[in-house]
Structure formats: C-alpha cells, structure tokens
Structure 1
Amino acid sequence: MSGKKAVFLDKDGTLIRDVPYNADPSKVELLHGVASGLRQLSNKGYLFFIVTNQAGVAKGYFKEEALTAVEHKLQLLLHQSGIALSGFYYCPHHPQGVVAAYAKACHCRKPMPGMLFDAATRHGLSLAQSWMVGDILDDIEAGNRAGCRTVLVDGTASERVQISGGYRRPSYIADNFKEAANLIVKNT
C-alpha cells in the first residue's frame, strides 16, 4: 500500500476538554494521557490531523477567524509535548446555521468524510492504513466512511449505548485517549 499513515483526531472531548462552542484559546487544555498517547503513536510513524466540526461559526457564536487562535494554542501545547500536528481541518457549516454563508449541508461536516478525504489527497495519506479517533459516533461514521479503522473514546459510556451497525460501529472502544493509542499500536 502506498501513502503515509495518519491518525485523524476529533478535537473537543477527544484531545482537549470539551467546552461547547469554544473559541477562547485560554480554555484549551489537553486531556490527561493525550500527550503520551500521541508520542507513542508518533514513534510508530503516524502523522496527526485534527478534523473538527465547528458549527459555532454557522450559528453566529464566533467568527471563523477565531479558530486560528485555537489552532495555534493546540499547536503550542502539542509542540511543548514533543508532538507535531500535520494539519488542522474544520467544518464551519451547519444546515440550521444563522450566518448565510455557512448555513448549508456539506461534505465536510462529520459524519461525512470530506475533511479526511481532503487531508488524504493533500498529504498523500493511505486511508486504509489510517485511524479516526473521536468521542462521538459522528466521528466514527466519518472515519468508517473514509475507509479508516476507528476508535471511540467513550469514558462515560454515553455513546456506547447508541452504537448501531454499519458506519456507526467503531473498530474499537477505549475509555480514554491513552487506551485508544494502545489499541492502535496493538492492532497496526
């Protein structure tokens, strides 16, 4: 198989504390075990790409430009932990948005796999060798639709009870990010 392998990462609730519609970089903090898990995966040759829905733009809660500061803060935190982020992809759309330019259905909003396809094309990634890690089933569906293996990080077991068949069934379920990284290493 040609192409590089990657781990696609949901942002809120997976890598950082979930603060709804957050565009304030001062509230961005890595969850416990994320840095060590990412270092473990980096040592196995994985590249990292954030893929995140940011409906707050479409809903008028913050401007799209505000995401730049959030991305920079996340890049800084990861860099301080010895981790390089290869890409930051976000979807600012939502069908029920109030900002006309962003109020639409699209191919990039998870559970659709558009952000993963875009990253794979731009960076020469092999989706079959890649993983999607997220804390909700929309993340899992996007990864499965793209042809990746998937890990649901569900420490509260709230998403597990909603798992159905098809694209919404994760390859693996972990209680935290460190466990997710261990599963990826073990099953690579």
Structure 2
Amino acid sequence: MTAGSTSGRARARSRAPEAVLFDRDGTLVVDVPYNADPARVRPMPGAREALRLLRAARVRVGVVTNQSGIARGLLTPAEARRVNRRVEQLLGPFAVWQVCPHGPADGCACRKPRPGMVLAAARRLGLAPDRIAVVGDIGADVEAATAAGATAVLVPTPVTRREEIAAAPTVRPDLVSAVRHLLGER
C-alpha cells in the first residue's frame, strides 16, 4: 500500500469514531527515548491542530503509550506522570491515559502490540473498541488497534519500517490528514 492508501474496511467506516487514541512518543510528541524530563517535551508537527479538529468535532481523545523505561529503571512512574502532565499542558486535556510500564520481555497484556491498553481505554470511555481509532507511528500501534477491533491509522516517521507501512490498513502522511480522514473529510 502507498502513503495514501486505505483498505476496504477503513473505507467502509460510515461515521467518525467516538474517540481517538494516540501513541505518545513519535506521534503526539517528539520521541526522546526514555524521557524523564518534562522540559524536553515538544509537540509533533500538526499535533495541536489535529487535536483541535477532534475536540471541535466532540471526539474524545486519549493516549496509549509503552513506557518500558520504567521497567528498565531509566525513569520512575512519577517522572513518567510528570512528562504526561507536560504533554497535557502543551496539547490540552485527554479523556484517558493508558501507560504500559513493562518491558518487552515481561509478557504483559497491555504492552503494544498487544491490545490491552486499547481495550482498557475503551472500557474507561464506555465505548466498544470498534468506535475507537488509534493513531501511531509504528507497526505495534497498528497491531494493537487491529487486535482490539479498533480502526488503525499509521502516520510514518523516519523510524517507521517499510514493512509496517505496507501492512497498515490506512496510512496518512501527517497527523492532520490522519484526523481529517477519521472525521470523513476529503
């Protein structure tokens, strides 16, 4: 698939999702590996506008983020919370936050690409997963959404692998076009 492609399933969507969950690092904010410093948080290009469009359409927004630095001892849960608070200061409030503090080998159900955080966010929002979309920058974000039954949109960055782009049901070049697609705009 190419950078504007959409699968039949995504095209069949008849209405906007009731909530959009975003990956944090590399999607909403510039990825600073294992960031424990709120001063290093910088929004990704288009993040403010994409969130503004969703909020104006009364679509709830949330975050689903792997934070394995906690399991690795590179940051504390309190430091991760401070970074998340800074994200909210810069980008506005989020209806739900789901943070996986586990490492890749921990075998938890929440760490993307597993669907646990998406399903937990759906429960907290009182929505069926098929009424939710997930926007992320890597294949694990897409896989978690798909496994949960949510709509997935990939917004590639330089770290996104070609095979992740090819496997994604919907790919958009930036956050604003991803949101416009989810809202049914051309």
Give the TM-score, by structure 2 length: 0.84
Runs of 4+ in 1 over 4 A off after TM superposition: none
Are the counterparts in 2 of residues 51 and 116 from structure 1 also a CA contact under 8 Å? yes
CA apart distance, 1:43: 2.0
What runs of 5+ residues in structure 1 fail to find an aligned partner? Answer: 97-103
CA apart distance, 1:158: 3.6
Q: For the residues of structure 2 that align with 1:147 and 1:63, how far apart are their CA atoms?
A: 31
Matches within 5 A, 1:37-186: 37-79=50-92, 84-96=93-105, 104-156=106-158, 158-163=160-165, 169-186=167-184
Residue 171 of structure 2 aligns to a residue whose secondary structure is: strand
Q: For the residues of structure 2 that align with 1:135 and 1:173, how far apart are their CA atoms?
A: 10
Percent of pairs with identical residues: 37
Are the counterparts in 2 of residues 172 and 183 from structure 1 also a CA contact under 8 Å? no
- AA in 2 matched with 1:87: V
Residue 65 of structure 2 aligns to a residue whose secondary structure is: strand
| More displaced stretch, 139-148 vs 155-164 | 155-164
Please, what is the CA RMSD of the aligned residues?
Answer: 1.9
Q: For the residues of structure 1 that align with 2:172 and 2:75, how far apart are their CA atoms?
A: 32
1:101 is aligned to none
- AA in 1 matched with 2:99: Y
**Structure having greater relative contact order (Cα 8 Å, sep ≥ 6):** 2
2:30 is aligned to 17
| Number of residue pairs the alignment of both structures matches | 170
CA apart distance, 1:171: 2.6
